[in-house]
Structure 1
Amino acid sequence: MGLVLSFSFLLMVLFPALSTSEDPFICSRATYYGSPDCLGTPSGACGFGEFGRNINGGDVGAVAKLYKNGTGCGACYQVRCTQPQLCTEDGVKILVTDHGQGDNTDFILSARGFGKLAHPNMDIELMAHGVIDIEYRRVSCQYPGYNLMFKVHENSRFPDYLAIVILYQAGQKDITAVELWQEDCQQWTGMRRAYGGVWDMANPPKGPLNLRFQVSGDNGQKWVQLRNVIPSNWKAGVAYDSAMQLF
């Protein structure tokens, strides 16, 4: 099947060490949405569920054009406002978990993330503005202690319908395609992007699943192949550890 034999070799070839992000900032606008605990929402368009509510300490957000039909799900951005009297120079790192657009905004942040743009004790004053001018740039996602994980979506029905969500995706790569190995016909078959970060397939292969996904970045597109990443008796709602990470 031509599956990768060495994860360490794979990572050295496909994912060279990331330099610090020096991409130029892009000017835009941002607002925030209300929630009882100021965190994200489990019903975000990316399909992350509770992961989308709590990940990154709740510093999450919905994006407009950066959503990219779901490819932008899980990307991280440094966002900072352009009012130095109210806001810090570093701003906040936001993880994309949803799709949405406000008043000519590129970001709708969780209340917690929006408040972290401000200097200490000035978050209430900043939030009173409602919509603010910002600048942003793509930065690497980092999940110390976590490997890339494949969660079987709660809507999956064993063994006839499989939907997965890819969680804890580090670095700055976008996942643009996912395929499963069909042993009976000796070929890779593409999963469908159902919505957001959710990929699905009716009548998936039986047995432990060999999976590959395509990543894109500054160096073009590459395929990453994983053997037996999802067990034969997979269960809805369970996340399976890939034992690797993207860097």
Structure 2
Amino acid sequence: MSVVYDDVCCVMQEVVEREDWTMYVNIARTSNVRHLALSTTKMVLEWTKAVTFIITVVFLLLVMGLEKGLKDYAPTPGYLILTGVYFLVTEKFSTKIVGTWFDNKKFEPFEGMECLYWPTLLLASHLTLSTLLTLLCVSTFNFRLVLLSSFTNLRVKYRELRDDCIKPLQHELATLSPYRPANRSEVRRHDDVCAVCLAPMSSARVTPCYHLFHGDCLRRCLKESNKCPICQYHL
């Protein structure tokens, strides 16, 4: 019930703030010719979304108005906090804002791979919260909902986390694993400047030819060539 209410509020906010209500899709940005197939698909999706939203609102109003569904509904503060956090980590607007901040912050331990770490952390939080909510369903002996949640919220999310997040991240980390992190004295002796991007370095990776680069800069260079960007030593 709490998640449904949060979803309704989110959709209402999107409707209020939406500026483009065009139901047609043009074949190009600079063209006024409409793409028939895409326009039809967009119209069907928009109307489906609208009908689903109306049904959800009517159902919510009936439950709250008749009070039959709320008669035995007495959520604890812990339950409200858990469902609220679950809504925040699954709602696109909040995750987009946090993801943009996370990507622009450039945390040193992530070595420029925030775009890979953030989806991994996000889906891991989805999986953790879904597990807790599923365990709550177990405590109420609602085994049908437990089976449904175990497949849609646990198994599907786990496979998405493993295939779309963890494996690409492991691949990028494996690219940097042969090059050890530089210690503070080595970075200071190198004048704290990366030879690739000319930006200051607080952390770096050391190549076999003893040149220092940002981990992200070295990773990008290795995608283009297996040679050192400075001396062309074969890496």
Give the shorter-chain TM-score range.
under 0.3
Give the structure with the higher percent strand. 1
The two structures have a TM-score, normalised by structure 1, of: 0.20
TM-score, length basis structure 2: 0.20
Bigger relative contact order, structure 1 or 2, given CA contacts below 8 A and separation 6+? 1
Larger radius of gyration: 2
